[in-house]
Each structure stands twice: as structure tokens, then as C-alpha cells.
Amino acid sequence: MTSTTSRTGRAVLAVAATAALAVGVSACSGSSSAKGGASSSATSSTTAAAHSSPTMADAPFGPGCSAVPKSGSGSFNGMATDPVATAASNNPALSTLVAAVKKAGLVDTLNSAQNITVFAPDNAAFAKIPKATLDKVLNDKAMLTKILTYHVVGKRLTPQDLAHGTYPTLEKQTLMTSGSGTSYTVNNTAHVVCGNVRTANANVEIIDTVLMPPSS
């Protein structure tokens, strides 16, 4: 009788111990899974945040950017959705350039081009040219076309590209860029006053001086 009772007691204890161990393993496994899930979620959130955060290479820069409208079709966001000639026409700081582009018949050429960079003289750049000289150029379509196409490079240039480079233009001659950070020059004469402005088909570097082709 005693022997039977003893065996029964040991069996009950064994079953209880097995059940307790199973519960413990299950609890540990659930805790580890929860921690792993939280860690994975945190990592995903960090990665997503890193990819969504703007970088210097993505943003327009320079003192002249303050003249760009904060909203509407002439703003940075508005310009980004239009091809370059259309985008420029919505920016009041580029009205003289736009008038020159229209006179030269280059609107469709610029709007249909893909992945270009336009060095866009602002109104102040054109104001540096004596009025008689500017009027003469504006009324000479061949000369105007030559000058304007000298401002166009056949690839999208990044700020890193502007640091030191020589690039062929649509006019078939080259221009040179140099600088660093947020300070860049073109042909050692024009300064980029608002750089890295995006349009649907081009990057725009707004400059403070009209560039002249070397042979002009």
C-alpha cells in the first residue's frame, strides 16, 4: 500500500514539474519574441526616418533662395512639378530670363530636354548689362540663342559636381564650376545665389551674372 502510494506521489510530482517547465519555456519564448518584435520595429522606424530625412544634397541653398515664393507654382515645390522653362516662368526672380528664352524660341527646347542643368541668371544679373547692350542682344536672335544655350549643361549637376568640374554646354563650348559647401562660382565670374532648385526635367542653379560664351 505504502509502495503504491509512493509511486503515485512521484508520478504526480513528475507531471507537475513537466507542466511547470513547459509554462516557463513558453513564457520565455513569448518574452523573447516580443522583445525581438519591438527591436525589429524600432530598427524599421529608424531606417525609415533616415531615408525620409532631407539632406543638404536635396535642398535648395543660397541667399537668393529667399526671393523664391514660399507657395504656389513659383515656389520650390511648385517648380518641381513643371518642366524647366514653365517652372522659370512662374518664378518672378527669373522674369527677364524667361522673356529672353521666349524671344529666342527656346521654350519647347528646354521643356522637352531630359536631365539637364540650367544656370539661370536672375533679374539682377541682367540688370548689370547696360540697357543698350541688352536691347541689342535681345533683338539678335542668333546671338541671344548662343548666349542662352551656353547656360545649359546636358546632365543634372549636384552640389558635389559643382565643387570642381568642366562641363560641355548646349552651345557646344564648356563652362567651369568651383566651390564648396553652399558657395559656388561659374567661370570664376558668376556666383550661385540659389542652387539645387529642382524642376521636372532639370536642376536649376540661379546665378548673379549672365555668362558669355568664350568666343562672343
Longest alpha-carbon distance in the chain? 126
Q: Show the cell assigned to 139.
A: 533683338
pLDDT band per the 50, 70, 90 thresholds, residue 57: low
> Strand order of the sheet with strand 174-180?
152-153, 116-121, 202-207, 190-198, 183-186, 174-180, 164-168
How far, in Å, CA of 59 to CA of 198, rounded? 9
Q: What is the rounded radius of gyration, in angstroms, for the C-alpha atoms of the chain?
A: 33
Per-residue model confidence as pLDDT tens digits over 200-212: 999 999 999 999 9
Q: 181-199, pLDDT tens digit by residue?
A: 999 999 999 999 999 999 9
Q: Give the relative orientation of helices 141-149 and 95-104 as an angle to the nearest 10 degrees.
A: 120
The predicted-structure confidence for 131-178, as pLDDT tens digits, reads as follows 999 999 999 999 999 999 999 999 999 999 999 999 999 999 999 999
What is this structure's pTM?
Answer: 0.74
Q: Which CATH class is domain 63-207?
A: mainly beta
